A and B are shown apart, each in its own frame.
Chain A
Amino acid sequence: MKKLATSLLILFGAASPAFAQLKLTITQGVTDPINIAVVPFARAVPADGGTDVAAIIQRDLESSGRFKGMPRTDMLGAPTTKAEVDIAGWKQQRNDYVVVGRVSALSNGDVAVKAELINLLTGLSMMDKTWTVKPASMRKAAHRVADEIYKLIIGVPGAFDTRIAYVSVDGKPPNQKYQLIVADADGENALAILTRDRPLMSPAWSPDGTKLAYVSFENRVSSVWVQDIFTTQRSRVSARAGINGAPTWSPDGRKLALTLSGSNGNLDIYLLDLSNQQLTRLTDDPGIDTEANFAPDGSAIYFTSDRPGSPQIYRLGLGSGERPKRVTFTGTYNARPRVSPDGKQLAVLTLDNGAYRIGIQDLATGTMSILSKGRQDESPSFAPNGAMVILAGRERGQGILQTVSIDGQTSFKLNADAGEVREPVWGPYLK
């Protein structure tokens, strides 16, 4: 037996060189953009209404900071199917992936957008799908193609086929026009759902993406409203004495957290049950408590409080008897908390070297990194996939909207109508 064991040892010992493997460990990576060529799709004139589907896909992917699209002028050809793709040639031009497709008009008036994603490294097709939409929804179809590609390569859902809301201000006091705007996530298809000549503020998306809560001064005093974005029907939900502000939805969509001053002017946070108007006080402090935002599981709110002497972020667990706990300790000014979709990060407005910028605080470690590069940035809001943040900034004295990848490497300025744009909020995934 012992001899057999020895023989086996020798046998395996002798055999081992054939199976020799060099073992190495890779611990680091990069966040470089992935090179992708989105080739112009075959058109269906005039049914496609001139929509450049490939351009929309490329812009979406690039806006995430995870992709770098190949300039069209560098492209060798215009294949529209995988069979037409010269894999080696496109790979030679340092692309990792190529997207090809075609738009075709259907007899019922719809258009079909067919897109293929090819991994040039392996030569394999990763996606071959068709989206059928009304001609007016061509952009939407393109966003959905981009979402699918993003999901396949990055591993998390894309958030391109989502909406944003913001407030725009036209004109100069006293003749100003305030508008509540809903647009696609790339800023296109902007539509005003409310226009007032008094300030509109603090829009907040309902969790199902069908309603917006906001503050309106339309009656000279603040009140909180809820409006359906499709029907534009609206209702006033809070018009209490004093300040009614900073609404935010509970994750189940049944309640709003609000900032109310009451008649004594002390700003605290309350919970309003939309079904029965019942009001529950959440904070009770002589300082200012405002700008509440729910943790994704509804178990806590994060809010801004100046109780330590300057604005800082606190967390209040919603179980009975819990006390607010301070969570930001970096710098002298942290406000406007927004919790990431996974509940692990906070986006805040922070004073960074004399400039107001957007910071991302890791809730587990407490470390903060600065996301934006402006001097007067404000109003951060996470995309529903957590990969990007939308914020308002100023450029040459003008308010602008921009999206920033969560690593801060990539920012894209959104097209917006002329005028001041403020308080962007990124809506949830659309059902």
Chain B
Amino acid sequence: MSRSRKSLTQGRWRAVALSLMLHSAIVVAAVYGWFTWRHKPPPVETLAVEGSVVDERALKNISPPPKTEPPPPEPVPEPEPEPVEEQGPPKPDPAEIERKKEEERLAQEKLEQEKQAQEKLEAEKKEAERKEAERKETERLEAEKQAAAKAAAEKAAAEKKKSDEAAAKKAAEEKARQARQAELRKMMEAEERGNALRNSDQAARWHAAIVARIERAWIRPPSAQPGVTCIVSVSQVPGGEVTAVKVNSCSVADAALRESVEAAVLRASPLPPPPDPALFERNLELTFAPQE
């Protein structure tokens, strides 16, 4: 029983809570709605006609466009003027009156016609001015359009140029990188080939030939004793002609010894050429180390 009571009590509380929540929701919705209405932004005014905004000043001296102009007034017949003469003392002759009336009517008509002509002229002038303004506006719009198109074309061209340049630069860089790599590869290959050549019998024979030639040309001075050394740098050109000799250092300070080693190299010029041009070395370092 207590279970059913409790269950009942719980059911009632739930109903109350739900009711509260519903009402709260309604209130909140109402308040929100009110606020939304209050703070609703004014409706955005949208232009019904698309087009450029025309400067007001430019339009000051020209008639408004025909759409907004009311049609020229229809020539409305003037109401018959009231016969005022009857009130005057002299009673004019009715024929005369009639004639005068006719005259007045004709004058009136003429005036009316003149006025109409004047108005028509005026309207035509205005129309012409309006057309001129329209033409000018069209021209201006056209010019603007052309300018915009031109600017766009120029921009596009510039962008294309820029991208072309970037592409060219990238291509050049790639080409240079490839060239460097090729060069490096070539150098490495040449060095490998050179190493192989330098260690070959051909090279050994060539080196021996150079040494023999210089030894035959070296007239040893008395100071060229065992233990003495001179280091000599030699530059040669293909063909073996010696182009430079520099005595870098000698273990003894002896001018005649230096003279003798320099003379030996110059006397030996041209040095024997290598059997394989790839063996050629432009720079030689000679060590003069006399033995007994």
A24 close to B267 (CB less than 8 A): no
Complex CA distance for A401 and B214, rounded to whole angstroms: 37
| Residues of B that sit less than 8 Å from A by CB | 184, 187, 190-191, 194, 207, 210-211, 214-224, 233, 254-257, 259-264, 266-267, 281, 283-291
Q: Does A155 sit within 8 A of B, measured CB to CB?
A: yes
A selection of 23 A-B contacts at a CB cut-off of 8 Å is: A17-B190, A19-B283, A20-B283, A21-B233, A21-B284, A22-B284, A24-B210, A24-B287, A25-B289, A26-B264, A27-B290, A27-B291, A28-B290, A30-B215, A31-B219, A32-B219, A66-B219, A119-B263, A121-B263, A121-B266, A121-B267, A155-B221, A155-B256
Which chain A residues border B259 with CB–CB below 8 Å?
119, 152-153, 155
- Which of chain B's residues have a CB closer than 8 A to the CB of A27? 215, 289-291
Closest 8 CB pairs between A and B? A155-B256, A29-B220, A29-B218, A121-B266, A22-B281, A28-B215, A21-B285, A27-B291
Given A26-B288, A30-B215, answer yes or no on A21-B283 (Cβ-Cβ < 8 Å).
yes
Kindly state the separation between the CA atoms of A28 and B233 in the bound complex, as whole angstroms.
Answer: 18
CA distance in complex: A156, B255 (Å): 10
- Partner among A23, A28, A154 whose Cβ is within 8 Å of the Cβ of B291: A28
Residues of A within 8 A of B (CB): 14, 17, 19-34, 66, 96, 119, 121-122, 151-156, 387
B256 close to A154 (CB less than 8 A):
yes
Q: Which residues of B contact A32 (CB under 8 A)?
A: 219
Nearest residue in A to B224 (C-beta to C-beta)?
A: A29
For the A-B complex, the count of residue pairs with Cβ-Cβ distances under 8 Å equals: 109
* A149: min CB distance to chain B, Å: 11
- Among residues of A, the one whose C-beta sits closest to the C-beta of B210 is A24
The CA-CA distance from A152 to B263 in the complex, in Å, is 13
Bound CA span A66–B257, Å: 14
With A23-B285, A24-B285, A155-B257: A30-B218 Cβ-Cβ less than 8 Å: yes
- The answer, among A33, A122, A151, for a CB contact under 8 Å with B262, is A122
A24 B220 Cβ-Cβ under 8 A: no
Contacts A26-B214, A122-B262; A154 near B221 (Cβ below 8 A): yes
* Residue numbers in B under 8 Å from A22 (CB-CB): 207, 281, 283-285
Given contacts A17-B187, A21-B285, A155-B221, A29 and B215 within 8 Å (CB-CB): yes
Q: Report A-chain residues with C-beta under 8 Å of the C-beta of B218.
A: 26, 28-30
Distance between Cα atoms of A33 and B221 in the complex (Å): 11
**Besides A17-B187, A29-B264, 6 other A-B contacts (C-beta < 8 A):** A22-B281, A22-B285, A24-B207, A26-B215, A152-B255, A156-B256
Q: Smallest CB–CB gap between A163 and chain B, Å?
A: 23
Residues of chain A within 8 A of B255, CB atoms compared: 152, 155
Asked whether A14 lies within 8 Å of B187 as measured between CB atoms, the reply is yes
What is the distance, in angstroms, from B193's C-beta to the closest C-beta of chain A? 12
